[in-house]
Structure formats: C-alpha cells, structure tokens
Structure 1
C-alpha cells in the first residue's frame, strides 16, 4: 500500500516577510537588542536562517522593516480610534490622543520593542529616519485634529501633547499601578480643555 505524501505548501513571500517582522518584534520585546539575533528571530518565525537573508539584506534591514511595520500598525490603531469617535472634532482629537492608553498600544510587549527602536534611532541613520517620519506623521495628524478643534498654534500644541502622551505612555508601560490608564486619559482630557 503506497504511503500518502503530505502536500507541500509554499507560503507567499509576503507571508514569510510578515512572519520574520513579527518574530523580530517579539524578540526585541522579550530579549531586547542584545538577545535579538538571526537564530532567535528565525526560530520564532519557524524558518531557516538562510531565509532571513533571502527576504532581507540582513538583520539590520529586518529590524528597520520591523520598526516601520510597527509604526504603521500604530498609525492604523490611532486612525481607527478617530474614525470610531464620530464627527465631533473634540471627540476625534481626544480619541486620537487617548488611544495610547488602551489595548493594543498598552501591550507590555510593545514597550520592549519601542525602547529598542528608540535606542537604535540614536545611532543608526536609517532608524533615525524612520523615527523622524513616524513622529512627524503623528504630529501632522494631531495638528490637523487640533486645527479642526479650533486650536491656535496647532504645530506647537502637537509637539507638546505628543510629548505628554509619550511620557504618560512610557510611565504607564513601566508601572501600570503608578496611576492607571483612566487617570492618563483624564490628564490628557484636562490638557486638551486647558489648551484648546
């Protein structure tokens, strides 16, 4: 009796790239930069180390792609929050700012990945460019929401509110018991009332 052969399925290039990006984000979150290497990433992705070089020029290219993909994912989360807030300009502004204090942005794993990206942005020109583009985009969208809410000097307010959100998010991520997500939301809401 002939044995049945299992059908071989080849995953698409996009699926493999996405798996490597996701595995890199997990490695950065769990192990930091020091523990993120080709073997660890490929083990998490369930692929051979040779595939990393096939899809990316090397680990530096993969980490940069992971930063870009993570930034894009955050942009989509913030856009969804705004879309879900209805048509009131102030509600849309508040939704954009406070999305940072709700899942999935508050996922503890995200802190490890972001701190690795931020560390690399200080010493790697490509990572610095991704950081600059990401933050400029966030502030530009925030500026548009501020203008729609009737704010004067939206550009400076966007910088200030971005720094406030980042600081609260970082503290909340480091110690969720320090003040809590709802307290962070209330602080941002009070800031918006006072500034806009």
Structure 2
C-alpha cells in the first residue's frame, strides 16, 4: 500500500507572513488613528487576529511600533534603490532618480505621511525610535553622498550638499502629500531637479574653510 504523505498544517514561511501582517496592520492603524489609537487590541482587530497572537510575535505594542517603523523605512529604501537601478549607469541620471523618487508612489502617499507623523511624534520620547530615525536619516544621506561623489563633487562638499538636498526633498514631499492639488508630482520633480543643478554647481566650486 503506498505511503500517504500529508502537508504540515503550517508552513515554515507562515510565521513571517503573520508577523508581516501585524506590521502592516499597525501601519494602517497609525495612519488612521495616530499613536493614541495604536493599542494591541486595535491592531489585532485590524489584522483580524487575536490579541494573544500580537503578544506571540512582539513583546508589547512598543516593540510592534518599532518594527513597523523599521519596516516602513525599508519599504522607502527599496523604492529609492529601484528608481536608481532603473536610471541606468549615468551618474547624473541616477542622482536625479534618487531625488525625484520621493515624489512618486509608493513614497508620495498621504497615508504614508500619516504613518510617519505618528512615528515622528515618538522620536523625542522613545530612544529606540530616535535611534531608528537617526539610522534611516543617516542611510538616506549616505546614499545621497555616494551618488553626489559619483557626479564629481569634492569630498569636502558632500555632507553639506546632501543635507541641503535632503531638506529640499523633505519639504517638497511634505507639500505634495498634504496639498496634491496645489503641487503636482511632476512640478515637484522639476523644482527638485532645478535646485539640484544649482546646489551641485555651487558645491563643485566650494571648499571647506581653513582651520583657525
């Protein structure tokens, strides 16, 4: 008689999928209700699971929020990296793609902005969230510095130029998410490219002040 094999009730990938579903549910709750509404019970209801399952994967709601912050940042990073890859090998095209990717989906999204606002409200109160914020900001700036270096900017100008471009991107992204009827994505991208040209042109001639 042939041996009958049965599939296991739960596949090995299922825990990761369940963990991800809780993170995604947490992001939706944060976007909709803010930090004040992000309880274990609310997130469990959003995910369609029991509150006990949240506790199985995360040591409380704070740990889940921190994991959601990290996951959200990773999604943004992946979108930026995809935009740079699609731009080809030209250094200038790669730099512009990195800068303007923030004005297109999935980054330019009012719901994502609402989620970030919830995270930012915790930066001063929660050291682990502050550390994640610093890590993500540093990673973005580091990538930008690398792309600027590829375009020929001197090492002495990389940090200052990257900070200026980051502030430009953040401001345009914020306005685009808040007021899409007043600022269109293509207009934001055009403004960013013009400012990028001016900033990089200035940086090519800039030298650090001599030590006193």
Same fold per TM (> 0.5)? Answer: yes
Structure 1 vs Structure 2 CA RMSD: 1.4
Distance between the aligned counterparts of 1:10 and 1:96, measured in 2?
Answer: 40
Post-superposition CA distance 1:18-51 (Å, at most 9, x none): 0100000000111111222111111111110011
1:181 aligns with 2:180: no
1:113 aligns with 2:121: no
Counterpart residue number, 1:52: 54
| Runs of 4+ deviating beyond 4 Å | none
Counterpart residue number, 1:3: none
Which runs of 5 or more residues in structure 1 are unaligned? 1-6
How many pairs does the alignment contain?
190
* Partner SS, residue 120 of structure 1: coil
Give how far 1:9 is off: 4.5
Counterpart residue number, 1:94: 96
Counterpart residue number, 1:4: none
Give how far 1:10 is off: 3.6
Post-superposition CA distance 1:50-96 (Å, at most 9, x none): 11111000000000000000001110100000000011100000000
1:21 aligns with 2:17: no
1:150 aligns with 2:134: no
Give how far 1:8 is off: 9.2
1:160 aligns with 2:160: no
Distance between the aligned counterparts of 2:22 and 2:165, measured in 1?
Answer: 34
Distance between the aligned counterparts of 1:9 and 1:101, measured in 2?
Answer: 43
Q: What does residue range 114-153 of structure 1 map to in structure 2 within 5 Å?
A: 114-152=116-154, 153=157
Q: Which has the larger radius of gyration?
A: 2
Give how far 1:15 is off: 1.0
Distance between the aligned counterparts of 1:167 and 1:122, measured in 2?
Answer: 21
Distance between the aligned counterparts of 1:174 and 1:107, measured in 2?
Answer: 9
Structure 2-normalised TM-score? 0.86
* Partner SS, residue 135 of structure 1: helix
